[in-house]
Amino acid sequence: MSSISSYTSEKPVYGKAAWLSTVSSVICGYFSYGFIRGWPNYWSNMQNHLNECNERGQNCTQEQFLHMDTEHNEWHAEVGNSTLHPDWVTKNMISSTSSFMLLGVSIGATLCGLILPMIGNRKATMAAGIFLLGALVTFSEVFKMDNFTLLYIVSFAMMGMPMGVIHTACQNSIKATVPFARRGFAMTLFTCGNTLGQFLFPYIFTFFGYYFNDIVISLKFTGVLFLILIGAGLMMTDSDNEPPKLFDATLFKRPQYILYVIHAWFAIGAYFGSLTFLAPYLVSKLEGNCPEGEEDCGRWVVDTKNSIQLSMGIVEGCGRLLGLYIADKYWKENILQTVYMGLTVCWLLFTLDDGIFGMTAVTCYYVFSSLAGFCTGCYGGVLFALLADVLPSDKHAVGAAMNQLSMGTANFIVVKLFGSFFEEMNAIPYYGSACLYIAGTILLVFVKRYNHRDEEVSESEDGEALEKLNLKIAEALKE
- In this model, does residue 80 exceed pLDDT 90? no
Average pLDDT over all residues of the chain:
80
- pLDDT: which is higher, 3 or 61: 61
Which has the closest alpha carbon to 447: 331, 294, 310, 300?
Answer: 331
Q: Count of CB atoms within 10 A of residue 227's CB? A: 13
Which has the closest alpha carbon to 235: 126, 116, 113, 108?
Answer: 126
- In this model, does residue 4 exceed pLDDT 60? no
Q: So what's the pLDDT on residue 179? A: 77
All domains in the chain, ordered by first residue? 14-51+86-244 (1.20.1250.20), 248-479 (1.20.1250.20)
Label residue 222 by pLDDT band (50, 70, 90).
very high
Q: So what's the pLDDT on residue 264? A: 92
Label residue 171 by pLDDT band (50, 70, 90).
confident
Residue 110 and residue 89: Cα distance in Å, rounded?
33
Q: So what's the pLDDT on residue 455? A: 54
Residue 298 and residue 287: Cα distance in Å, rounded?
8
- pLDDT: which is higher, 175 or 343: 343
Identify the weakest region by mean pLDDT among 111-115, 236-240, 379-383.
379-383
Q: What is the DSSP string of 85-108?
A: PTTPPPHHHHHHHHHHHHHHHHHH
Q: Count of CB atoms within 10 A of residue 416's CB? A: 18
Mean pLDDT of all residues in 317-335: 79
Label residue 81 by pLDDT band (50, 70, 90).
low
- pLDDT: which is higher, 21 or 14: 21
- pLDDT: which is higher, 436 or 475: 436
Q: So what's the pLDDT on residue 9? A: 37
- In this model, does residue 5 exceed pLDDT 50? no
Length of the chain equals 479
Q: Using an 8 Å Cβ cutoff, are 65 and 85 in contact?
A: yes
This prediction's pTM? 0.73
